[in-house]
Amino acid sequence: MKRKALALTLILRLVIATLNIYMTGVQAQLIPEPVQSYYEDYEPEITPPEISISSPQNNSVTNANSISLIFSVSAPQAIESVRSQLTQVYYKGDWQAEKQDLYFWDSKSDSYFDFLEFNITLTDIPEGKHELQIMAIGTVNIRVAMFGFTYHSDANASIIFTVNSIQSTPSPEPTSTPTSTPYQEPQQTEQLEIIIGMAIVVTVFAAGLGLLVYLIKRK
């Protein structure tokens, strides 16, 4: 009995050792290439996020120190993607010290968006010409065999506009003040009066002389 038990034990050990060698070979054949190599080899062709700006118009001029910023953003796209989503959207004007976040995806949240619309009012914009930049960042998720990979893609758009809120006041047109000119009688009228006056004097003189001659003759 002891010999049979010993022989059985040896056989079992041999079988186990053979199975271990076989499984080791199988596992060696199943070990994939490095994950980094998979990530690079299977990177899909990605269409970056699309930014569509409705307001303000490029190269526009506004007479106020505030503008309405209206735009939409769509997530990056890939044919092989399992899911694409937006992860961050922000803007920055050249008059601002830091970027202004509009959307930031929280990994703890189950919700995700592949399209977002924004309508905000920007105030206290200085006078002059400015550039406003909008940045959108998104991800594309794909699956290769038992692996899932996430690829990032971003896009930006810029708008140029001018603020001219200081309106120039037109100077009043000069008005002419009428000046009075003293009335002057026509020179011709003055000469006529002199002639008439002399005629009257001559007539009176002649009448007086004729009267004197008549009186002398009567005497």
- Mean pLDDT score of the chain, rounded to an integer? 78
Alpha-carbon distances of 42 from 30, 39, 198, rounded to whole Å? 19, 6, 129
Per-residue model confidence as pLDDT tens digits over 85-143: 999 999 999 999 999 999 999 888 878 899 999 999 999 999 999 999 999 999 999 98
CATH topology of domain 38-124+134-163: Immunoglobulin-like (2.60.40)
Top mean pLDDT of 28-32, 77-81, 117-121, 162-166 is at 117-121
Of 84, 92, 97, 98, residue with least CA distance to 137: 84
Is the model more confident about 168 or about 117?
117
> pTM (2 decimals)?
0.60
Q: Is the pLDDT of residue 186 over 90?
A: no
Ranges of each domain in the chain: 38-124+134-163
pLDDT at 109: 80
Q: Any idea what DSSP says for residue 219?
A: -
pLDDT tens-digit series, residues 8-18: 665 666 656 55
